[in-house]
Structure 1
Amino acid sequence: MRNIKRIIIPVLIVLSIFAVNVSCSNDEEIVLNPTEASGETPDSDGDSGTTAEGSEGEITLYKVTGNEISKIQDYKVTGKDLEYQKDVAKHKEIWSLVKKIVPVEQLKKMSEFLIYNGEVTGSAGFVIEIKRDLSDWRMGIAINYAYEGGFNARGELAYTIIHEFGHVLTLNDTQLDAAVTQESCKNYFPGEGCAFEKSYINELHSKFWNDIWSEYQDAKKDESAQQKFYEKYKERYVTQYASTNPGEDIAEVFATFTTLKEKPEGKTIAEKKILLMYNREELVNFRDHIRKNLALRKKGDAVTFELPKPGTWKQANSFGNPHKTKCRRH
């Protein structure tokens, strides 16, 4: 979320050479645990050592157990990336912020956590499904951008984590059926699977995208058309970036829902999208958890933590790639 593009990193497993490479070139690739791909067994402390070269800035991969992390592997790196790799205290500081934001019950959907250098891809964070059934996910955070201007400067890192986990929250196996193809799907199909009728993203799509879907499909052809589409329908979106596709829309709605101090009145479609989340008790509880743990300001309280004001994060006034569904790098 930023001048940093928010695009997601899938991992391409090249089994013939037992190497793990990260790429967005093939939307059908599914991530495997590097130890599963290579056949290596981690040491007793969970560290399998330095075993692979990353293609897009990978530094250190961790296993998530409960709300704690243990090293799976260090990637072969040099120079500045080696400095980042050795600075484990920063890895833990980033993870501590993830733990503050994501309740332990929700963390069960995430079994891997990657520290990487975002300069290679221009990204600050990503999530990608590890298992085809969407029950297990990896989150990556770019360490260089996490500390740009100081740790979590202007709340950008916290917002990144909220947005990225918004994808996990709305695209996991409780929300989509990965076994149903697009041709057989009777509800919205975001790319990872067919949305269940009462899923968050299907409700968003059926109420606020379905009537303009044909126009949106035409607008995906180039950025000029995207811009015209957004200008025509901007009151429907919490940010310009949200108009990229419904997947980015719902992640942005979730982040805005969390960031806004007061419940909106529902005067615009963008506000009505936020109110959809207020209708779900579990999402309100998630919001309350985040705001309590980050000690965000309530009416009359002093500021103890900062998040970007709605619509002010660095990538808010840009477009993502509308054609990418299973590739959500940001």
Structure 2
Amino acid sequence: MKKVLGVVLLLLLFMLSELYFYGDEEISTLNDYEENVIEVSDPTELANEPVITDNLSFTAVEIEGCSQENIYLEEKEFQYYSYTCETEEQLIHLGNELVTGLTADGTIFLTEEAEEDYDEVLLDYGFTDKEEVLIWYDVDENTLVDSYDMSVPNFLEDYQIDREQHEKNWDHFIKLIPREYRLSVVDYTVFAHDYTLGYVEQFTYEDDLPTDWGFAMNVIDIESETERSATIIHEFAHLLTLGEDQVTPYVSEKSCQFLLLDEGCTQSDSYIQVFFDKFWVDIRDEVNSLASDPDMLYDYYLDNEDNFVNDYAASSLEEDIAESFTYFVLQLFPDNTNRVQDEKISFFYDYPELVELRIEILSRLQSIMA
């Protein structure tokens, strides 16, 4: 098993952007939309399915060529807009408007303040900075079922029994990430740490059996909806880029024809393989050689600052694609690609399904923040 550790929260400075044109086929922001939406006249039969409803408490973004429907997830009592646009140019414009609406003051998400709370707890109790798992839950699709308490220091017991906060983090994940993208998550871990805000973990079994994933959130340091959202989007990016439809598990180094990761062998057209071919072929060995020395790794980032969206992205291929995806979702479309970091954000716009997914996540985030 491998933990994909952490997330560095973002300081995103937004700017007006040019639009990128892809074509004129109609785009829907829900996969298999006709199958997933049922009429609101009988919303009780399928609690996990989205339902068309009315009267959201916030205003939809109006873009020429785009329409919207109100969706209600009954189990979580959560409503959001599902958008459909005629072209991807309009869809990208819509995404920019959603980002602008979420960041009226020009900035979103903090970078360092989130680390202070747990640091203070450690100082008060003379505790080390190791991760403390407080409790983990079995997951049945949207629902937390059986839970298992771990042995923890006395000063963390209040956090361990704070089930309301545990469920708040989990519900945020459920609301923000579409159902079809999180079906592999079977485990939810609540932990405490001084700088790691979240991680995902692959569970491997016998050969040829599907792999499952665990999702984990820090129960102490995450205080705001913005911090929570950035963390979830980053960790979801790992699920998106390392899942079984992208990386084939149980492949030996000898049998792998492409890039061998801890999670398995990348498929030829996988997001992370294409990202590697474009941005990491010439640097991966050097970055990996610096991994054990944080100071040298940070110096490497400073020497190549234009190539990464932030210093955490420079730590590995996996973190680079996850951080770049987070910026792709939460930042305006780059108005130029003079820097490699902008090329990395633009990379995701080459995939129409990810442009749709960006709108889906931003629309859900609009509702969460309303």
TM-score after normalising by structure 2: 0.59
- Cα distance in 2 between the residues matched to 1:91 and 1:238: 30
Query: Does the 8 Å contact 1:60/1:71 carry over to 2?
Result: no
> Which one-letter code corresponds to 2:211 in the other structure?
S
- Cα distance in 2 between the residues matched to 1:216 and 1:58: 29
Residues 1-330 of structure 1 aligned to structure 2 (within 5 Å): 6=6, 56-77=131-152, 79-119=154-194, 122-132=195-205, 135-147=211-223, 151-152=224-225, 155-220=226-291, 222-295=293-366, 305=369
CA-to-partner distance for each residue in 1:157-193, whole Å, 9 max, x for gaps? Answer: 2111111111111111111112222343221223221
> Which one-letter code corresponds to 2:222 in the other structure?
A
Query: Does the 8 Å contact 1:190/1:247 carry over to 2?
Result: no
Give structure 1 regions of 4+ aligned residues with deviation exceeding 6 angstroms: none
- Cα distance in 1 between the residues matched to 2:188 and 2:335: 34
* Distance verdict in 2 for CA 1:134–1:270, change over 3 Å: farther
- Cα distance in 2 between the residues matched to 1:220 and 1:113: 28
Q: Which residue of 2 aligns with 1:34?
A: none
* Distance verdict in 2 for CA 1:90–1:210, change over 3 Å: same
Query: Does the 8 Å contact 1:254/1:277 carry over to 2?
Result: yes
> Which one-letter code corresponds to 2:189 in the other structure?
L
> Which one-letter code corresponds to 1:266 in the other structure?
T
- Cα distance in 2 between the residues matched to 1:76 and 1:240: 34
- Cα distance in 2 between the residues matched to 1:280 and 1:272: 14
1:221 positional shift: 5.9
> Which one-letter code corresponds to 1:185 in the other structure?
C
TM-score after normalising by structure 1: 0.66
- State the number of aligned residues: 241
% of aligned pairs identical? Answer: 27
CA-to-partner distance for each residue in 1:6-56, whole Å, 9 max, x for gaps? Answer: 28xxxxxxxxxxxxxxxxxxxxxxxxxxxxxxxxxxxxxxxxxxxxxxx94
Q: Which residue of 2 aligns with 1:318?
A: none
- Cα distance in 1 between the residues matched to 2:152 and 2:314: 37
Which consecutive residues of structure 1, in runs of 5 or more, have no partner in the other structure? 8-54, 297-303, 307-330
- Cα distance in 1 between the residues matched to 2:327 and 2:285: 26
| Higher mean C-alpha displacement, 173-182 vs 104-113 | 173-182
